[in-house]
């Protein structure tokens, strides 16, 4: 039972363009959502988060959108840079503060 799904295992974009990473969830108890970035041989690095009471949160080039009715969130990166190439994980937190992760999307930004 995959409660958090990232349906695109990989995404390739050109430098300077927008990257859009998508995530769907099924559990209505999730109340906080996070995006993490992971490089090989490193642990996940926190990127940006959003509370379930909001529908948008922005931090520099990164914006997360939450659509609660559709149980969908997305991460927008504008403009994309080659250094953004990494695996991106969507995670959802329940009231017990345990995180459920998606399977990740490998983003490749081409120069």
Partner 1 sequence: ETGVTQSPTHLIKTRGQQVTLRCSSQSGHNTVSWYQQALGQGPQFIFQYYREEENGRGNFPPRFSGLQFPNYSSELNVNALELDDSALYLCASRGQDEKLFFGSGTQLSVL
The residue ranges that bind partner 1 (CB under 8 A) are 4, 32, 34, 36, 41-46, 49, 89, 91, 93, 96-104
Nearer to partner 1, 1 or 28 (CB): 1
Asked whether the bond before 56 is cis by omega within 30 degrees of 0, the reply is: no
Nearer to partner 1, 80 or 93 (CB): 93
Nearer to partner 1, 75 or 102 (CB): 102
- Minimum distance, C-beta of residue 37 to partner 1, in the bound complex (Å): 11
Query: Can you name the residues that pair with 26 across neighbouring β-strands?
Result: none
| Strand residue runs (E) in 26-102 | 32-38, 45-51, 56-59, 62-67, 72-77, 86-93, 99-101
């Amino acid at each position: 039972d995959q409660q958090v799904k990232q349906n695109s295992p990989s995404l390739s974009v050109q430098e300077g363009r927008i990257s859009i990473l998508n995530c769907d969830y099924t559990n209505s108890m999730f109340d906080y959502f996070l995006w993490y970035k992971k490089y090989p041989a490193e642990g996940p690095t926190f990127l940006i988060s959003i509370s379930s009471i909001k529908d948008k949160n922005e931090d520099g080039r990164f914006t997360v959108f939450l659509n609660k009715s559709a149980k969908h969130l997305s991460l927008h990166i504008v403009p994309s840079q080659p250094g953004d190439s990494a695996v991106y994980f969507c995670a959802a937190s329940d009231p017990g503060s345990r995180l459920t992760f998606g399977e990740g999307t490998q983003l490749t930004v081409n120069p």
